[in-house]
Amino acid sequence: MKFLHTSDWHVGKVLKGRNRLDEQRAVLREIVGLARTHEVDAVLVAGDLYDSAAPSAEAQELVVRALMALRDTGAEVIAIAGNHDHPRTFDAYRPLMNIAGITMVGSVRTAESGGVVSFTAPHTGEPVKLAVLPFLSQRHAVKAAELVAKTPAENSAGYDQLIRDLLNTLTAGFGDDAVNLVTAHLTVTGGALGGGERAAQSIFEYHVPAGAFPADAHYVALGHLHRRQTLPAACPVVYSGAPIAVDFGEQDNTPTVCLVEATPSTPARTTDLPLTSAKRLRTLHGTIAELGERAAEHAEDYLRVVVREPARAGLREEVQAILPGALEVRIDPEFAAPLQTTRPDRRDDQSGPAELFAEFLTERKIVDERVQSLFTRLHDEVTTG
Protein backbone atom coordinates (compact mmCIF):
# COMPACT_ATOMS: atom_id res chain seq x y z
CA MET A 1 0.00 0.00 0.00
CA LYS A 2 0.97 3.64 -0.40
CA PHE A 3 0.15 6.54 1.89
CA LEU A 4 1.08 10.16 2.47
CA HIS A 5 2.36 11.38 5.82
CA THR A 6 1.96 15.07 6.56
CA SER A 7 1.59 17.19 9.69
CA ASP A 8 1.78 20.65 11.24
CA TRP A 9 -0.25 22.55 8.68
CA HIS A 10 -0.82 25.42 11.15
CA VAL A 11 -3.64 26.83 9.05
CA GLY A 12 -4.49 30.34 10.21
CA LYS A 13 -0.90 31.20 11.16
CA VAL A 14 -0.15 34.91 10.79
CA LEU A 15 3.46 35.99 10.24
CA LYS A 16 4.33 39.47 11.54
CA GLY A 17 0.78 40.58 10.81
CA ARG A 18 0.72 39.03 7.33
CA ASN A 19 -2.23 36.70 6.61
CA ARG A 20 -1.01 33.52 4.91
CA LEU A 21 -4.27 31.73 4.08
CA ASP A 22 -3.64 32.02 0.34
CA GLU A 23 -0.25 30.34 0.75
CA GLN A 24 -1.72 27.64 2.96
CA ARG A 25 -4.48 27.04 0.44
CA ALA A 26 -1.90 26.60 -2.32
CA VAL A 27 0.20 24.19 -0.25
CA LEU A 28 -2.79 22.05 0.70
CA ARG A 29 -3.88 22.01 -2.95
CA GLU A 30 -0.38 20.77 -3.77
CA ILE A 31 -0.69 17.95 -1.20
CA VAL A 32 -4.05 16.93 -2.64
CA GLY A 33 -2.48 16.84 -6.10
CA LEU A 34 0.31 14.55 -4.86
CA ALA A 35 -2.23 12.21 -3.24
CA ARG A 36 -4.08 11.98 -6.55
CA THR A 37 -0.95 11.63 -8.70
CA HIS A 38 0.51 8.83 -6.59
CA GLU A 39 -2.86 7.10 -6.08
CA VAL A 40 -2.29 6.68 -2.36
CA ASP A 41 -4.43 4.44 -0.20
CA ALA A 42 -4.37 6.74 2.82
CA VAL A 43 -3.34 10.17 4.07
CA LEU A 44 -2.17 10.56 7.67
CA VAL A 45 -2.25 14.08 9.13
CA ALA A 46 -0.28 13.89 12.37
CA GLY A 47 -1.65 16.90 14.23
CA ASP A 48 -1.59 20.70 14.36
CA LEU A 49 -3.95 21.17 11.46
CA TYR A 50 -4.64 24.62 12.92
CA ASP A 51 -2.36 27.21 14.47
CA SER A 52 -4.88 28.04 17.17
CA ALA A 53 -7.33 26.15 19.36
CA ALA A 54 -9.90 28.76 18.27
CA PRO A 55 -9.30 29.05 14.51
CA SER A 56 -11.13 31.55 12.36
CA ALA A 57 -14.06 30.48 10.20
CA GLU A 58 -11.85 30.92 7.12
CA ALA A 59 -9.18 28.63 8.57
CA GLN A 60 -11.75 25.98 9.47
CA GLU A 61 -13.29 26.10 6.00
CA LEU A 62 -9.87 25.67 4.40
CA VAL A 63 -9.01 22.63 6.53
CA VAL A 64 -12.40 20.97 6.01
CA ARG A 65 -12.23 21.48 2.25
CA ALA A 66 -8.67 20.12 2.16
CA LEU A 67 -9.65 16.98 4.09
CA MET A 68 -12.65 16.44 1.80
CA ALA A 69 -10.50 16.94 -1.30
CA LEU A 70 -8.04 14.35 0.02
CA ARG A 71 -10.92 11.96 0.61
CA ASP A 72 -12.19 12.59 -2.93
CA THR A 73 -8.93 11.09 -4.26
CA GLY A 74 -10.16 7.74 -2.94
CA ALA A 75 -7.76 7.67 0.00
CA GLU A 76 -8.60 6.94 3.60
CA VAL A 77 -8.02 10.18 5.56
CA ILE A 78 -7.07 10.11 9.24
CA ALA A 79 -6.24 13.28 11.20
CA ILE A 80 -5.31 13.61 14.87
CA ALA A 81 -5.21 16.67 17.13
CA GLY A 82 -1.91 18.33 17.97
CA ASN A 83 -1.03 20.70 20.79
CA HIS A 84 -2.29 23.70 18.77
CA ASP A 85 -5.64 22.04 18.03
CA HIS A 86 -8.73 21.83 20.24
CA PRO A 87 -9.26 18.10 20.95
CA ARG A 88 -12.90 18.39 21.96
CA THR A 89 -13.73 20.25 18.78
CA PHE A 90 -12.11 17.44 16.78
CA ASP A 91 -14.25 14.92 18.64
CA ALA A 92 -17.37 17.05 18.16
CA TYR A 93 -16.84 17.00 14.38
CA ARG A 94 -16.05 13.28 14.43
CA PRO A 95 -19.58 11.92 13.66
CA LEU A 96 -20.08 14.35 10.77
CA MET A 97 -16.61 13.72 9.35
CA ASN A 98 -17.17 9.96 9.60
CA ILE A 99 -20.13 10.35 7.26
CA ALA A 100 -17.77 12.03 4.79
CA GLY A 101 -15.32 9.13 5.15
CA ILE A 102 -12.79 11.12 7.20
CA THR A 103 -11.53 9.99 10.60
CA MET A 104 -10.73 12.74 13.13
CA VAL A 105 -9.37 11.85 16.57
CA GLY A 106 -9.09 14.60 19.15
CA SER A 107 -8.63 12.70 22.40
CA VAL A 108 -6.94 9.47 23.42
CA ARG A 109 -9.26 6.51 22.96
CA THR A 110 -9.25 2.82 23.70
CA ALA A 111 -8.55 0.54 20.75
CA GLU A 112 -12.21 -0.50 20.65
CA SER A 113 -13.56 3.07 20.65
CA GLY A 114 -11.36 4.44 17.88
CA GLY A 115 -7.81 4.33 19.24
CA VAL A 116 -7.03 1.84 16.47
CA VAL A 117 -8.33 2.55 12.97
CA SER A 118 -8.61 -0.55 10.78
CA PHE A 119 -9.26 -0.44 7.05
CA THR A 120 -8.45 -2.19 3.79
CA ALA A 121 -6.14 -0.38 1.38
CA PRO A 122 -8.43 0.65 -1.51
CA HIS A 123 -5.91 -0.03 -4.30
CA THR A 124 -4.10 -3.11 -3.02
CA GLY A 125 -6.58 -4.80 -0.68
CA GLU A 126 -4.04 -5.10 2.13
CA PRO A 127 -5.36 -4.90 5.71
CA VAL A 128 -4.11 -1.89 7.70
CA LYS A 129 -4.07 -1.30 11.45
CA LEU A 130 -3.33 2.26 12.55
CA ALA A 131 -2.81 3.16 16.22
CA VAL A 132 -3.59 6.86 16.81
CA LEU A 133 -2.24 8.97 19.66
CA PRO A 134 -3.21 12.67 19.68
CA PHE A 135 -1.14 15.14 21.69
CA LEU A 136 -1.19 14.65 25.43
CA SER A 137 -0.06 17.25 27.94
CA GLN A 138 1.53 15.89 31.09
CA ARG A 139 -1.47 16.79 33.23
CA HIS A 140 -3.77 14.72 30.99
CA ALA A 141 -1.40 11.81 30.46
CA VAL A 142 -2.13 10.11 33.79
CA LYS A 143 -5.88 10.14 33.20
CA ALA A 144 -5.45 8.81 29.65
CA ALA A 145 -3.15 6.00 30.78
CA GLU A 146 -5.62 4.95 33.47
CA LEU A 147 -8.43 4.96 30.92
CA VAL A 148 -6.69 3.12 28.10
CA ALA A 149 -3.82 1.12 29.54
CA LYS A 150 -5.43 0.45 32.94
CA THR A 151 -2.05 0.67 34.66
CA PRO A 152 -1.27 2.19 38.07
CA ALA A 153 -0.44 5.47 36.34
CA GLU A 154 -0.35 7.40 39.61
CA ASN A 155 2.84 5.50 40.43
CA SER A 156 4.45 6.15 37.07
CA ALA A 157 7.96 7.61 37.10
CA GLY A 158 7.34 9.95 34.18
CA TYR A 159 5.54 11.08 31.10
CA ASP A 160 7.50 8.75 28.81
CA GLN A 161 6.36 5.68 30.76
CA LEU A 162 2.75 6.76 30.49
CA ILE A 163 3.12 7.10 26.72
CA ARG A 164 4.79 3.66 26.59
CA ASP A 165 1.80 2.18 28.42
CA LEU A 166 -0.61 3.78 25.98
CA LEU A 167 1.35 2.65 22.92
CA ASN A 168 1.75 -0.88 24.22
CA THR A 169 -2.00 -1.16 24.69
CA LEU A 170 -2.96 0.42 21.36
CA THR A 171 -0.50 -1.70 19.36
CA ALA A 172 -1.20 -4.99 21.15
CA GLY A 173 -3.33 -6.16 18.21
CA PHE A 174 -0.61 -5.68 15.57
CA GLY A 175 -0.06 -8.86 13.56
CA ASP A 176 1.98 -10.29 10.70
CA ASP A 177 -0.95 -10.21 8.28
CA ALA A 178 -1.42 -6.42 8.21
CA VAL A 179 0.45 -3.19 7.59
CA ASN A 180 0.94 -1.88 11.14
CA LEU A 181 1.14 1.89 11.51
CA VAL A 182 1.29 4.41 14.34
CA THR A 183 0.56 8.12 14.15
CA ALA A 184 1.22 10.44 17.08
CA HIS A 185 1.87 14.07 17.95
CA LEU A 186 4.76 14.29 20.41
CA THR A 187 8.49 14.90 20.85
CA VAL A 188 10.93 12.03 20.50
CA THR A 189 14.11 12.31 22.52
CA GLY A 190 16.93 13.54 20.32
CA GLY A 191 14.63 15.09 17.74
CA ALA A 192 15.72 18.45 16.29
CA LEU A 193 13.35 21.36 16.70
CA GLY A 194 12.30 22.97 13.45
CA GLY A 195 12.32 26.48 14.88
CA GLY A 196 8.67 27.39 15.31
CA GLU A 197 7.39 24.92 17.91
CA ARG A 198 6.06 25.84 21.33
CA ALA A 199 9.14 25.10 23.39
CA ALA A 200 7.19 24.53 26.61
CA GLN A 201 5.42 21.56 24.97
CA SER A 202 8.51 20.16 23.25
CA ILE A 203 11.14 19.88 25.99
CA PHE A 204 11.84 18.54 29.47
CA GLU A 205 9.04 16.18 30.60
CA TYR A 206 7.51 15.97 27.12
CA HIS A 207 10.26 13.81 25.61
CA VAL A 208 9.50 10.22 24.63
CA PRO A 209 12.32 7.81 23.65
CA ALA A 210 12.15 6.28 20.18
CA GLY A 211 12.22 2.88 21.86
CA ALA A 212 8.66 3.51 23.03
CA PHE A 213 7.40 2.47 19.59
CA PRO A 214 6.98 -1.24 18.88
CA ALA A 215 9.44 -3.00 16.60
CA ASP A 216 6.58 -4.61 14.65
CA ALA A 217 5.28 -1.23 13.46
CA HIS A 218 6.03 -0.78 9.77
CA TYR A 219 6.07 3.02 10.11
CA VAL A 220 5.51 5.66 12.81
CA ALA A 221 4.10 8.92 11.38
CA LEU A 222 4.85 11.77 13.77
CA GLY A 223 3.91 15.41 14.03
CA HIS A 224 5.03 18.22 16.35
CA LEU A 225 8.63 18.88 15.30
CA HIS A 226 8.69 20.97 12.14
CA ARG A 227 11.90 19.63 10.60
CA ARG A 228 11.83 16.57 8.34
CA GLN A 229 13.82 13.84 10.14
CA THR A 230 14.00 10.15 10.91
CA LEU A 231 14.93 9.01 14.41
CA PRO A 232 16.98 5.83 15.01
CA ALA A 233 14.71 3.07 16.28
CA ALA A 234 13.72 -0.55 15.68
CA CYS A 235 11.11 0.69 13.19
CA PRO A 236 10.95 3.83 11.00
CA VAL A 237 10.13 6.78 13.30
CA VAL A 238 9.58 9.77 11.04
CA TYR A 239 8.66 13.44 11.27
CA SER A 240 7.31 14.69 7.95
CA GLY A 241 8.03 18.28 8.97
CA ALA A 242 5.80 21.29 8.38
CA PRO A 243 4.71 21.93 4.76
CA ILE A 244 5.19 25.68 5.25
CA ALA A 245 7.76 27.56 7.35
CA VAL A 246 5.76 29.12 10.17
CA ASP A 247 8.41 31.71 11.09
CA PHE A 248 11.98 32.77 10.31
CA GLY A 249 13.41 30.14 12.63
CA GLU A 250 12.35 27.59 9.99
CA GLN A 251 13.72 29.38 6.94
CA ASP A 252 16.33 26.69 6.24
CA ASN A 253 13.91 23.75 6.48
CA THR A 254 12.86 21.96 3.29
CA PRO A 255 9.05 21.55 3.20
CA THR A 256 8.04 18.02 2.20
CA VAL A 257 5.34 15.42 2.44
CA CYS A 258 6.37 11.78 2.87
CA LEU A 259 5.23 9.13 0.41
CA VAL A 260 5.44 5.73 2.12
CA GLU A 261 5.12 2.27 0.59
CA ALA A 262 4.73 -0.82 2.80
CA THR A 263 3.45 -4.37 2.77
CA PRO A 264 2.82 -6.74 5.69
CA SER A 265 6.04 -8.60 4.88
CA THR A 266 8.47 -5.84 3.79
CA PRO A 267 9.96 -2.76 5.47
CA ALA A 268 8.48 0.62 4.64
CA ARG A 269 10.13 2.68 1.91
CA THR A 270 9.89 6.46 2.18
CA THR A 271 10.23 9.08 -0.55
CA ASP A 272 10.28 12.80 0.22
CA LEU A 273 8.06 14.85 -2.09
CA PRO A 274 9.05 18.55 -2.02
CA LEU A 275 6.41 21.25 -1.58
CA THR A 276 7.09 24.51 -3.40
CA SER A 277 3.88 26.58 -3.25
CA ALA A 278 4.65 28.64 -0.14
CA LYS A 279 6.76 31.78 -0.10
CA ARG A 280 10.36 31.43 1.03
CA LEU A 281 11.45 33.01 4.29
CA ARG A 282 14.90 34.62 4.22
CA THR A 283 17.13 36.79 6.42
CA LEU A 284 19.17 39.50 4.65
CA HIS A 285 22.07 41.56 6.03
CA GLY A 286 23.52 44.71 4.48
CA THR A 287 23.49 48.43 3.98
CA ILE A 288 20.60 50.11 2.18
CA ALA A 289 22.66 50.12 -1.01
CA GLU A 290 23.57 46.42 -0.67
CA LEU A 291 19.98 45.46 0.04
CA GLY A 292 18.87 47.32 -3.05
CA GLU A 293 21.23 45.24 -5.19
CA ARG A 294 19.50 42.05 -3.97
CA ALA A 295 15.93 43.29 -4.25
CA ALA A 296 15.10 41.52 -7.51
CA GLU A 297 16.39 38.20 -6.20
CA HIS A 298 14.02 38.32 -3.21
CA ALA A 299 11.00 40.05 -4.74
CA GLU A 300 8.67 37.14 -3.87
CA ASP A 301 10.10 36.29 -0.43
CA TYR A 302 9.11 37.21 3.10
CA LEU A 303 12.15 38.84 4.66
CA ARG A 304 13.77 39.56 7.98
CA VAL A 305 16.21 42.41 7.28
CA VAL A 306 19.22 43.29 9.42
CA VAL A 307 20.48 46.73 8.40
CA ARG A 308 24.17 47.48 8.77
CA GLU A 309 23.72 51.21 9.30
CA PRO A 310 22.95 53.36 12.35
CA ALA A 311 19.28 53.91 13.16
CA ARG A 312 17.57 56.97 11.74
CA ALA A 313 14.06 58.17 11.22
CA GLY A 314 12.37 56.58 8.22
CA LEU A 315 14.87 53.71 7.90
CA ARG A 316 12.18 51.03 8.12
CA GLU A 317 10.18 52.75 5.38
CA GLU A 318 13.28 52.96 3.18
CA VAL A 319 13.87 49.24 3.56
CA GLN A 320 10.26 48.34 2.82
CA ALA A 321 10.26 50.57 -0.26
CA ILE A 322 13.21 48.57 -1.60
CA LEU A 323 12.01 45.19 -0.28
CA PRO A 324 8.19 45.03 -0.08
CA GLY A 325 8.43 41.59 1.53
CA ALA A 326 10.36 42.92 4.55
CA LEU A 327 8.21 41.93 7.53
CA GLU A 328 10.86 42.61 10.17
CA VAL A 329 13.59 45.25 10.13
CA ARG A 330 16.41 45.27 12.68
CA ILE A 331 19.64 47.19 13.18
CA ASP A 332 22.78 45.06 13.21
CA PRO A 333 24.11 45.02 16.81
CA GLU A 334 27.41 46.38 15.51
CA PHE A 335 25.61 49.59 14.50
CA ALA A 336 23.11 49.77 17.36
CA ALA A 337 23.55 52.33 20.10
CA PRO A 338 24.74 50.90 23.43
CA LEU A 339 22.02 50.46 26.00
CA GLN A 340 21.88 53.21 28.63
CA THR A 341 22.03 51.36 31.93
CA THR A 342 22.06 54.44 34.20
CA ARG A 343 20.16 57.71 34.01
CA PRO A 344 22.59 60.51 33.12
CA ASP A 345 22.90 63.35 35.60
CA ARG A 346 21.38 66.61 34.40
CA ARG A 347 24.03 69.30 34.06
CA ASP A 348 23.43 72.92 35.04
CA ASP A 349 24.16 74.17 31.52
CA GLN A 350 21.27 72.18 30.03
CA SER A 351 18.56 74.74 29.84
CA GLY A 352 15.66 72.68 28.55
CA PRO A 353 14.14 69.59 26.90
CA ALA A 354 15.51 70.39 23.44
CA GLU A 355 19.09 70.22 24.67
CA LEU A 356 18.42 67.01 26.60
CA PHE A 357 16.84 65.42 23.55
CA ALA A 358 19.76 66.50 21.36
CA GLU A 359 22.17 64.82 23.77
CA PHE A 360 20.01 61.69 23.75
CA LEU A 361 20.20 61.54 19.96
CA THR A 362 23.97 61.93 20.07
CA GLU A 363 24.33 59.12 22.62
CA ARG A 364 22.19 56.83 20.44
CA LYS A 365 24.12 57.78 17.29
CA ILE A 366 20.97 59.07 15.61
CA VAL A 367 21.86 61.85 13.21
CA ASP A 368 18.69 63.18 11.62
CA GLU A 369 17.60 66.81 11.70
CA ARG A 370 14.00 65.77 11.03
CA VAL A 371 13.81 64.01 14.40
CA GLN A 372 15.07 67.06 16.27
CA SER A 373 12.66 69.31 14.37
CA LEU A 374 9.72 67.03 15.05
CA PHE A 375 10.54 66.92 18.76
CA THR A 376 10.74 70.73 18.90
CA ARG A 377 7.39 71.12 17.13
CA LEU A 378 5.63 68.55 19.32
CA HIS A 379 7.12 70.08 22.47
CA ASP A 380 5.89 73.54 21.45
CA GLU A 381 2.40 72.19 20.72
CA VAL A 382 2.18 70.47 24.11
CA THR A 383 3.57 73.33 26.18
CA THR A 384 1.43 75.99 24.45
CA GLY A 385 -1.76 73.99 24.74
Class of domain 2-274: alpha beta
Provide the pLDDT for residue 375: 85
The amino acid that residue 16 corresponds to is K
CB proximity list for 195: less than 8 A, separation 6 or greater: 226, 227, 245, 247, 248, 249, 250, 251, 253
Provide the pLDDT for residue 201: 46
Q: Which of 246, 245, 192, 184 is closest to 212 using CA atoms? A: 184
> Residue 15 pairs with which residues in a beta bridge?
18
Provide the pLDDT for residue 308: 95
Provide the pLDDT for residue 90: 95
Provide the pLDDT for residue 342: 57
Provide the pLDDT for residue 76: 97
Provide the pLDDT for residue 142: 57
| Sequence ranges of the chain with CATH classification 3.60.21.10 | 2-274
The series of mean pLDDT values per 10 residues for the chain, 385 residues long, is 97 94 97 98 98 96 98 97 95 95 95 95 95 83 60 59 90 94 94 67 65 95 96 95 93 95 94 95 95 94 95 90 94 77 54 78 74 82 74
Cβ-in-10-Å burial (0-12, 13-18, 19+) of 370 comes to exposed
pTM score of the predicted model: 0.82
Provide the pLDDT for residue 181: 98
Compute the distance between CA of residue 153 and CA of residue 221 in angstroms, rounded to an integer. Answer: 26
